[in-house]
Chain A
Amino acid sequence: KAGVTQTPRYLIKTRGQQVTLSCSPISGHRSVSWYQQTPGQGLQFLFEYFSETQRNKGNFPGRFSGRQFSNSRSEMNVSTLELGDSALYLCASSFQTGGANYGYTFGSGTRLTVV
Chain B
Amino acid sequence: SQQGEEDPQALSIQEGENATMNCSYKTSINNLQWYRQNSGRGLVHLILIRSNEREKHSGRLRVTLDTSKKSSSLLITASRAADTASYFCATDGGGADGLTFGKGTHLIIQP
B97 touches A101 (CB 8 A): no
- Additional A-B contacts beyond A42-B104, A43-B88, A107-B42 (11; CB < 8 A): A43-B99, A48-B96, A50-B96, A56-B95, A56-B96, A59-B1, A103-B48, A104-B45, A106-B44, A108-B42, A109-B40
Interface positions of A (Cβ within 8 A of B):
4, 33, 35, 37, 42-48, 50, 55-56, 58-59, 88, 90, 92, 99-109, 111
- How many B residues touch A, CB cutoff 8 Å? 27
Which of B33, B41, B43, B99 sits near A45, CB closer than 8 Å?
A: B99
The proximity string for B residues 25-63 relative to A, scoring 1 for CB distances below 8 Å and 0 otherwise, is 000001101010000111111001000000000000000
* B positions within 8 Å CB-CB of A: 1-2, 30-31, 33, 35, 40-45, 48, 88, 90, 92, 94-104
Number of A-B contacts (CB under 8 A): 68
- The CA-CA distance from A107 to B42 in the complex, in Å, is 6
